[in-house]
Each structure stands twice: as C-alpha cells, then as structure tokens.
Amino acid sequence: MIVLLFLIPVSLVIALAFLASFVWAVRTGQFEDTETPALRMLPHDGVVPSADGPKTNTLSVIQKL
Amino acid sequence: MTLPVQPIASTADAPASVRCAHCGLVCPPGAPSEANHRFCCRGCQSVYALLHQEGLGEFYTLSPDAGVRPGPEDPKQFAFLDQPEIRAQYADFCDGRRLRATLRVPAIHCLACVWLLENLFRLELGFGASRVAFARRELAIEIDLDKLSFSRAATRLAELGYPPEFRLADLEESTQPARTRLHRHEWLRLGVAGFAFGNTMLFSLAQYLGMDASSTPGFRPLTGWLSLALAVPVVVYSAGDYWRASWLSIRQRRLAIEVPIAVGIVAIFLQSTWEVISGHGPGYFDSLAGLLFFLLIGRAFSRVAWDRLSFERDYKSFFPLAVTRRTESGDTTVVIGQLEVGDRVVLRPGDLVPADGRLLSATARIDYSFVTGEAEPVGQVRWDLLYAGGRQRDGIIEVAITKPVSQSYLTSLWDQAAFRKQRGERLDSLLNRYSPRFTAIILALAIGSALFWWPTDPARAVKAFVSVLIVACPCALALAAPFSLGTAQRMLARHRIFLRNPQVIEDLAGIDGVVLDKTGTLTQPHQGELVFQGDALADPERQALAAMVAHSSHPMAERVRAWLGADLREQEVHDFREVPGAGIEGTIDSLNLRLGSSTWFRDLGIALPGIESSATALLAVGGQFRGAFHWGGELRPGVEGLIRSLENRFPIWLLSGDRDREGSRWRFLFGPSTTLCFSQSPMEKHDKIRKLECDGRHILMVGDGLNDAGALRQSTVGIAVVEAIGTFSPASDVILDASSLPLLPEVLDYSKRVMRVVRICLGISTAYNLIGLTIAARGELQPVVCAILMPLSSVTVVAAGCGLATWSARKLQRNGAPVPPVP
C-alpha cells in the first residue's frame, strides 16, 4: 500500500490541473454566454453559395450528424 | 456603398397567399417581385438582393423565418452617435480609428440572425469582427472608423432589419461589468468547493474502509495534512459570502440562517484542524467541503437571471436616447438631455414626446395610455400642452419644448420618494423566522450535553459540544428554500411568468387582496372596439348609417361600418357631403344623418347633452343628437374567467386612470363586491395601495404602464404585464406575458403549494438533524457518520424540494396552454 503515498500526490496534481483549467475557462468568460456558441456551430464556414447555385440546407447537415 | 435597389421586373398583383421571400409576411397586392421571388416591400427586396449579391444567400437556408422586415428608416436617426461624447459612452474601446461597442438589437431571434450579424464584415468594408450574445440580444461589434462611421454602421444594421436600440438609461453608469464579475466569482467559489470535496472524499475513502493506520504508516498524517490544505481555500474563499452575511446579520442584531452555518463551519474546521495536528483523527474536512459545495449549488440554483429582463427599469429605459431637432439650418438628431427650452422637435408616428412642450402643428393625436392609463388617444390642436411620455399616433408633428426633460411631468413624478422606494430583503421570511429558533435550540443542546458529560468525562463533554455544532449545521435547512422556490421559479418561467427572485413566491402565497389596472392590463392596447354611448340604434337607423358611412373612406367611417355588422342592404344616399376634419352627412329614406366631431355639431347648433369631449365621433339623426362613439379597450382573452376566480378568493379593486364612460360595462364584468375607481392619477393609485397595506392587507398589484409604477412598488407583490418579453416594463417583482394573465389564480394557488413543499423539506431536514443530534449529544460521533448523514440529508431535501415543486405544477401545466421554452 506504500504506492498510495506516491499516487495520492499524483492524483492531486492532475486534479489541480483540471481546477486550473476551470479557473481559466471562467476567467476568459466561457460561462458568460452558454447559448450562442450552440447556435454558432450550426452553419458551416467557408462554403459561400452563389446567388443562384444549389443551396446547402443546414437541416440536412444536422440530420446526417 | 449603398443598398442596391434592383429595377423591379414587374409589379403584378400577388395572390393573398404569396409570402415575402425575405420576411415571410403575406405580400399585399401590387408588391414588388423579382425573378421568381415576391416581396412585401422595397426594403425586404433590397435586403434580399444585397445578401445574394454578397454571397450571403445561405442566410435564408438557416432558419424558416430568418428575415426581419426593415422599417422605414430615417438616414439621420443615428447621427447623434457621431458626437464624440456619445460615442465614448457607447464604445467599450475607441482610439479614434477603431471602435468596439456592444449594441442592443432586440430583433435578433434565430440562428440565421446570429450568422448574418457575425458575417457583417463580408457585407460592407469597415465592419470588423462581430459577435452575438443571443440570450442578451446583444451584438458586440468592431468598426473601422476610417471607412465607416458609427452612425452609418447603426443605420446599415437598421436597413438590414436589425435596428440597434438606444435608450436614455444607457448614458447612466453601466452596471454590466460589476454584474459579470460577481457571476464569475460564484462559479469559482463553486469550483473550488467541488474540487476540495471530491479530493478529500477520495482521501477519506481509505479511512472509511479502515485500511489507513495499520497498513501504511505515514498515510494518515499525509491525507490529514492534504485535506487541511484543501479545506483552507474552501473556508477562506468559498465560504466568503457566509462570513460577510453573518457578520452583517450579527451587527443588525438578528439571527439569519447564515449565522448557524458560519458557526458550524468554524466548529468543523477548528475541531478537524486540532485532530490533524494532534494526530487524534482524520477530521471532518470531507463533510466541510461537501457542506459548502451543496450550499453554493443551492445559491447558484436560486439565482436565476433572465438576461433579457430587467426588474428595475424606470422611465429612462422607456425614453429614446435622441430626437430630431429642427433649426433654421435643417434637422439634426440630438440627445434628449441636450434639449433646451424653446427647441423645436419633430415627432413621427410612434415617437415619444420627450419633454413637456406645446404643439406647433395644426393637430395631433397623442396616446397617453402608458403614462396615464387613458386608453383613448387624445386629440390635440395647435398650442395645446403635450406631456412627456405621450406617443404620437398619426402624422408628423412639431413640438416646441417648454420644460427641460429633467423637469417634465413624468420625470418629476418619478423623482418623488414613493416611486423610488427600494425593496430590501424581507426580514420575516419563513427561513428567517425559523432560523433564530433553530439556532437557539442547537446552542441549548450543545451546552446541555456538555454540562451533562462534564462531571463524569470532561473529554467526552468537549467532544459532544463540538459534535452537536458540527452535525446540526443547517445545511439541509438552508437548501430547502432555494431548491423548492428555485424550481417553482423555473416552472413559472415556462409559462412566461418571470419572478425577480425566488422569495417572491412566499410573498405571492401570502396575498389577500388584488388590485387591477384596466388599460393595458385587462384590455389590449390599440385593439379597441367601438362602443356606442346612447340608446341602442333601431334597425332603420343602422341601415341608414351603414349606407352613409359606406360612402366615406375615412378610417373612422370604416370602423363604424365594421361595428354595424354584415347584414345590411344597399340603400341610396342623397345629398352626401364630407366636410374634411369635421364629419359626414347624408339623407337616406328621408332620414338625415350626421356623423362627426363635437366642434362641428356645436357649429351646426345641435344640442349636446352631457357628452364627454373624448368621444371619437358623434351621431345625429334628423338634426337631433343621437349618441356618441368611443373607443373601448378590448378585453384580453380569459379576463372574465380570471375576474370570476379571483373574486371567489380575494377582495378586488379596480384602479383605472381612464374615465368611467364604460363604467356600467365594467360594473357588469365585476361582481358587486368589487370597488371600481376611475380617473386615478399615478399618485392616487400609489396612495390607495399604501392605505390598503396600512390596513394590514397584502396587496397584489397587476399593472402595465408607467402610471402604475408607484403602485407596483408600494404593493407586496407588483406584477407588470407585458405584450412581449423583453419590452419595457416598469420596475416590478414579476414580469408576466399578457397571454399568461388568465393563469394568475393558478399561480397564486401554486405558490401556496410550493410554500407547503418548503415546510415539508424543513421537516425532513429537522428529522435528519434529530438523528444526528442524538448521536452527537452522546459524544459518539464518528467522521464517517457525519460524512454519510450530511450529504444524504442534503440530497433528500434537494430531491424532495425539486420533485414536489415540479409535481405541484402539474395543474398549472394542465390549465395553461403549452408554451415553447423561453428564450
């Protein structure tokens, strides 16, 4: 069981890393707006449909996923 | 670059079912069309053309109702934004070349809006990166001022159908950053407590299983010291609010719920630290961290923020920021605060009168319904005094300002103390009544058990004393109210009833009298029906009147025709005459009819027996006065049922700013026990509520306009009724969507049931405390018992609170129409 003496500090360090990333996320405002990013990911970037070309339907993209 | 208006291919009549390719509204006949697409207006057409031209046609594929119909925009309406001091007020950052600002854009409603507004840089040179905060309906935008002025950017947004909103209140000190920082602190406190809770539990696991001391020497000191290290930030940082609150409460000489919690935290921490340092045991650090973790979750749960709603608005959020001032050198937009006495301002239909002033145009129709409760727009003629807050109805008018904005009628009303009364925290809430008793009992028990053991076993006496304080820490007690009330608050929000905070439920449960406003609350504004004052018309008279009004295209004549109904014969009208601005007359079957204004009737020498000047049109038959037409506010659907069921429970008062021309109709609607008061000024409404409250009643005030603001503040609970969530409403405790008004009796019942749930939860936590206390008082408390009992009681209380509050809402669910989740 002597290994616990080593494992416990290791686990604590890992947990501290997660705490640090949580603090970073809060401080950079990631918990300020939880709604818009969910909408923002739906349209796909880069595709610029021409005025009369075939239109990509976002709904079909969602259904494929 | 300007908006390209494409040449219109054809303007063939569109069938009624054809919808606009941009905004989806039904196209009127003669609407513009292009290729295969039809549009309801030129504005929609140019937006559609622009988006396709710039390769942003994807906009229309993102959402079925993507487009917003752009209103008629005045190109100069945002000119005030280019004044350096105004620009500095709005800009989050500006160095003269680049500007970053956060704008409120109420028209944002779907995914496509977010996409378009974040792709503005593709639309016009000068727009930089832009980001939408959907829940707040805000757009953070960067503008290159060399290429695009701030006002031009705002105008461009308006042309796309997303006009940014600027209000007088925006010029006040912004509270935005402070609110955000508080929010972040709450997250961090919760995170630290959760982190410490999880890790100390892990350390304690070995000890619970009894595998620590014997197998590995040095294990217990290691975990003990580590747990102590983790507990320090929890006590210092996560529990920070409890130290502050209990210190405040002690200074105010009362025992709020935070005091026993703080005492419990101190007891656990000192006892555990002593155990670890002296090597006597592992301490109760896991329970300590768990306690704060649950408490902070409870606090976060009860702090529901509706981003788009504000419960603290005053007239400054109602007034626009700028108006058009007319000078010899032309029209300019100026900020309201810069208006001076003698300035001439131009008001378009729908604009607010910014300050008291005199009408310079020939006539105006001003709608004061929001300020005074008077439903009917008031006809005004040149040199009449107009009051700030009125809304111009039709036509463009000019007004000469006679008082600065800060001294106008509405503003000075607001500055009276009664309208500014702040609501503090309630001191007599259920929990605050319960907690001193609880604290007293616990202290008595702790001292009692210590005294009991002292003569025989002093060590056990100390242990019993500390154990009682540890176990009795009112964690579950403190969780009962936040979770039950917070759940109830969320259930109500599903029905578009938004509470300022969860404690409002307790106030709602104690209501024993209801005061209702009429205009805008029980009636729908601007959807009035005609009311005929006078003896009912005989059939020949109806037929003749219908034939006569059919000859006129005046809106009033059309409304009268609609009021008369459909079963009418064609009849010939002789000597038809329309006098502009006065009325119409004609002879049908030898019956001479006149319909027109009171001035006209007076000029004709027709005697007017006791008719109010607010009548919209008068009717004379054969040269004799016959009756008058008024606009009557139309009742909201379900109001009659609402009144019936409220009357069965409470005494009701109706306080209306309106005159009582429809008194009999309202008397009929309400039972004989209801008190109806008409022509009430805002101050009279406030005083009436104050008087009722002084008589020991707990009044629920339901109102909508600025004229109810004082009454809403004075009442125990003030409910503001709004047409659409997010629009202006005066400061209140509850914001209620007008469509949910019939649910009001159910809501009152529901809040009573929820208070019962809170009491049940208090009972559960008391039962757990009794179990823990019997163990503790005997001085036999083990950390493992504490570690099981404390989370178990918290989880039971949370589950019972949330579950029962949800279950109690089923009746609300059944009676209310299913409403989509709230934005």
pLDDT digits (tens, 9 = 90+) for B488-542: 988 888 888 888 888 889 889 989 999 998 877 888 765 556 777 777 788 888 8
Q: What is the mean pLDDT of chain B?
A: 80
Tell whether B530 is covered by a domain: yes
Given B612, B634, B656, the domain boundary residue is: B634
Given B634, B649, B676, the domain boundary residue is: B634
Tell whether B639 is covered by a domain: no
Contacts of residue B65 in chain A, CB cutoff 8 Å? none
Length of chain A in terms of residues written = 65
**Number of Cβ within a 10 Å radius of residue B110:** 17
Phi, psi values for residue B813, rounded to 5°: -60, -45
Q: At B168, list the tokens.
A: 């007088």
% residues pLDDT > 70 (chain A): 65
Tell whether B511 is covered by a domain: no
Residue A17 — very low, low, confident or very high, per pLDDT cuts 50/70/90? very high
* A1 → chain B, closest CA residue: B216
Q: Between A5, A33, A51, which is nearest B133 by CB?
A: A33
Q: Would you give the DSSP letter of residue B780?
A: -
Is the per-residue pLDDT at B7 higher than 70? no
**Strand order in B378-381's β-sheet?**
B378-381, B363-367, B391-392
Select, from the ranges B237-246, B322-331, B608-617, the one with the highest average predicted confidence (pLDDT). Answer: B237-246
pLDDT digits (tens, 9 = 90+) for B728-740: 778 888 888 888 8
What is the average pLDDT across B305-310?
66
Predicted confidence at residue B756, as pLDDT, reads 92
Taking the C-alpha atoms of residue B189 and residue B352, their distance in angstroms, rounded to an integer, is 46
Contact A2 B216 (CB under 8 A): yes
- Give how far B189 is from chain A: nearest CA, Å: 10
Q: Torsion over CA of B460, B465, B468 and B473, rounded to 10 degrees?
A: -140
Nearest to B551 by CA among B530, B583, B532, B578: B578
What is the average pLDDT across B177-199?
80
* B54 → chain A, closest CA residue: A51
Question: Which residue matches tokens 């027709």?
Answer: B606
Predicted confidence at residue B768, as pLDDT, reads 87
Burial class, B426, CB count within 10 angstroms (exposed 0-12 / middle 13-18 / buried 19+): middle
**Number of Cβ within a 10 Å radius of residue B79:** 21
Tell whether B298 is covered by a domain: no
Contact A31 B115 (CB under 8 A): no
Tell whether B88 is covered by a domain: yes
Contacts of residue A43 in chain B, CB cutoff 8 Å? 58, 62, 111, 115
Contact A40 B118 (CB under 8 A): yes
Residue B368, amino acid: Y
List the single range of B210-214, B235-239, B422-426, B595-599 with lowest mean pLDDT: B422-426
* B112 → chain A, closest CA residue: A43
Structural domain count of chain B: 3
Contacts of residue B222 in chain A, CB cutoff 8 Å? 5, 8
* A9 → chain B, closest CA residue: B226
pLDDT digits (tens, 9 = 90+) for B320-351: 778 888 888 877 778 887 788 888 888 877 78
Phi, psi values for residue A60, rounded to 5°: -65, -35
Which CATH number goes with the domain that contains B617? 3.40.1110.10
Contact with chain B for residue A3, Cβ under 8 A: no
Tell whether B83 is covered by a domain: yes
Taking the C-alpha atoms of residue B528 and residue B518, their distance in angstroms, rounded to an integer, is 13
Tell whether B50 is covered by a domain: no
What is the average pLDDT across B551-574?
73
Predicted confidence at residue B568, as pLDDT, reads 66
- Give how far B23 is from chain A: nearest CA, Å: 18
What is the average pLDDT across B32-40?
78
Q: Between B58, B118, B215, which is nearest A49 by CB?
A: B58
- For an interface test with B, give the residue of A7, A48, A60 to mutate (most B CBs within 10 A): A48
Taking the C-alpha atoms of residue B46 and residue B27, their distance in angstroms, rounded to an integer, is 15
Residue B710 — very low, low, confident or very high, per pLDDT cuts 50/70/90? confident
- Give how far A65 is from chain B: nearest CA, Å: 16
Contact with chain B for residue A28, Cβ under 8 A: no
Nearest to B150 by CA among B92, B231, B225: B92
Query: What Cα–Cα distance (Å) separates residue B360 from each residue in B381, B383, B597, B608?
Result: 8, 6, 22, 30
Q: Between B184, B206, B222, which is nearest A26 by CB?
A: B184
Q: Between A27, A49, A57, which is nearest B57 by CB?
A: A49
pLDDT digits (tens, 9 = 90+) for B203-221: 887 777 766 555 666 777 8
Residue A4, amino acid: L
Contacts of residue A35 in chain B, CB cutoff 8 Å? 134-135
- For an interface test with A, give the residue of B138, B195, B230, B293 to mutate (most A CBs within 10 A): B195
Is the per-residue pLDDT at B1 higher than 70? no
- Give how far B95 is from chain A: nearest CA, Å: 24
% residues pLDDT > 70 (chain B): 85
Q: How many CB pairs below 8 A link A and B? A: 94
Contact B55 A48 (CB under 8 A): yes
Q: Between A29, A32, A43, which is nearest B62 by CB?
A: A43
**What residues in chain B have their Cβ under 8 A from chain A's Cβ atoms?**
52-53, 55, 57-58, 60-62, 111, 114-115, 118, 131-136, 180, 183-184, 187-188, 191-192, 195, 198-199, 202-203, 206, 211, 215-216, 218-219, 222-223, 226
Query: What Cα–Cα distance (Å) separates residue B270 from each residue in B199, B449, B584?
Result: 20, 19, 91
- For an interface test with B, give the residue of A2, A3, A4 to mutate (most B CBs within 10 A): A4
Residue range(s) defining the domain that contains residue B333:
320-420
Q: ipTM strictly over 0.85?
A: no
Higher-confidence residue of B614 and B731: namely: B731
Which CATH number goes with the domain that contains B142? 3.30.70.100
Contact with chain B for residue A63, Cβ under 8 A: no
The bridge status of strand B699-703 relative to strand B513-517 is parallel
Residue B490, amino acid: R
Is the per-residue pLDDT at B715 higher than 90? no
Given B388, B420, B452, the domain boundary residue is: B420
Tell whether B402 is covered by a domain: yes
